[in-house]
Amino acid sequence: MLIDWSLGQPVDPPQLPVDLLSRRQAAAELARRQRRQAMDAAYEAELILRLAELTPDGDDPQPGSPGARTPGWSAGDDEASGVSEFFAGELALVLNRGRGTARHLHHRALAWRENLPATYAALAAGELDVARAAALADVLGTTRPELARAVEARLLPEAVDLSVARLRARALELLAELDAAAADQRRERAQRSADVFLQPGQDGMATLGAELSADEAAEAYALIDQLARLAKADGDPRPIAAIRVELFSLLLRRPGGPGQPGVAAQLTITATLDSLAGTATTAGTVNGLAVTAAHARELLARIGALGLHAPDGGSLTFAVTDADGRLLATTTVAELLRVARKGCAQHPGEDCGCPVLGAPAATDRYEPTGRQQTFTKTRDRTCRMPNCGQRVGWADLDHVVAHSCGGQTACTNLCCLCRSHHRLKTFARGWQFVMEPDGTLHVTTPTGITRTTRPPGLRPPEPPPDHPDDDPPPF
């Protein structure tokens, strides 16, 4: 009862009145907060390890049984012995972070406890800051415990006097000195877990990169740089950085060289009903949730004005939303031409308010129809598990309420889940998934933590307005 009472208390705010502190006092309080953060990190690690201990793998699908994980599917799926394969997914929702971050924090906590007990103790006492303790765990967390402790014994006394980068370098140097084979093992693990990544940027830009061995990365950059310098010497007036970027893109998208077909692209253009009616700057809706023949003609006119067309070998899909970002329909140029010409079946030749496009109808079968797949993937764009960004190309369409339990095969009961989170929903016990008609998904962990995700672009609901009393008392 006392623990439950303590957990229900508000988080303590900072104690000192910052505006009254002198320069010396502010510096001293910052140093104290660093120690407090170290102690909190050790406490967090202890809590993570306790939660992992209470999440055993006894209920996981066993090898050879239906639903068992395929070995080697993902290099990052190596969970601690005896811990459920779904633990990282639960920890991610508890911390409201990504699954990769959750897995990293769990592995770091294990490294501190199993390989670096002196580092863990110094962290818990506030004698070693989080950044330095994390650097030691990153380098020594996957080597043999006895080797890790030997390096720790030599480094820990001077750790606070070294920069984080220098501490990491010294740990690697000592590791190679005491066991040269460990460096090769680390490199092999890094190569197995390497991946290509895509990070959204600002102003319509994004970063595409890959984790390569140092020699391959240097060779690839040298090639791009050499080609860029040749183009610059040949009279290209652009900055050499811009030339390098274009060459990098062309080499990936047209690996066969000039004149060869590029990679087929699937483009999706999103338009709101307000924008089609020319009132994008005003609030409200246009004809409720109906996409009419007049809207279709407006969209066709805008397509012609912008010169949009499907890329060679690719596709062009249009997503029509309401003012709040709720997806109303997905369509193509061919379908727009058809509905704009034919209009409403009940009012041929009239600009009525009847819908001619909308969400695909439900089906009695288990497998979603092609239109349902397009609509759901356009609405969700990524795995819908909170903090998971796996793109829909690698995601499954899942029935939120299982089809075997009476769940419809309808867009209001379908969402995109990556394979790992699909398996978690199917095989891990105690989870709850609830989806609203607009695609908002609520996920509750076995420990009662609920997180909510909305389809990208869908605005959160407005808070209810404050209504004054109808008959306020006189003053």
CB 449 within 8 A of CB 473: no
- pLDDT at residue 15 in the model: 78
- pLDDT at residue 452 in the model: 94
User: How many residues does the structure list for the chain?
Assistant: 475
Query: Tens of pLDDT along 88-113?
Result: 999 999 999 999 899 999 999 999 99
- pLDDT at residue 454 in the model: 93
CB 159 within 8 A of CB 167: yes
Compute CA distances 339 → 120, 320, 348, 354, whole Å.
67, 14, 11, 12
State the alpha helices, DSSP H only, in 62-98.
Answer: 87-95
Residue indicated by tokens 């006189």? 474
Q: pLDDT means per 10 residues in the chain (475 residues)?
A: 73 79 92 94 97 92 77 55 92 94 95 96 96 95 92 94 94 86 75 81 82 86 89 88 90 66 59 58 35 65 60 71 83 76 67 72 93 91 88 84 94 93 93 94 95 88 65 50
d(CA 177, CA 171): 10
- pLDDT at residue 362 in the model: 93
Report the SS3 class of residue 211: coil
Q: Among residues 102, 100, 89, which one has the least CA distance to residue 447?
A: 89
The neighbouring-strand residues paired with 432 are 444
Rounded to an integer, what is the distance from CA 386 to the centroid of its chain? 8
The neighbouring-strand residues paired with 330 are 319
| Helices then strands, each counted (H, E), the chain | 16, 10
d(CA 194, CA 198): 13
CB 175 within 8 A of CB 139: yes
- Return phi, psi of residue 315, to 5°: -140, 160
Residues 6+ apart with CB under 8 A from 8: none
Residue 139 tokens read as 């380098």
d(CA 128, CA 11): 24
d(CA 252, CA 244): 12
**Entry pTM:** 0.76
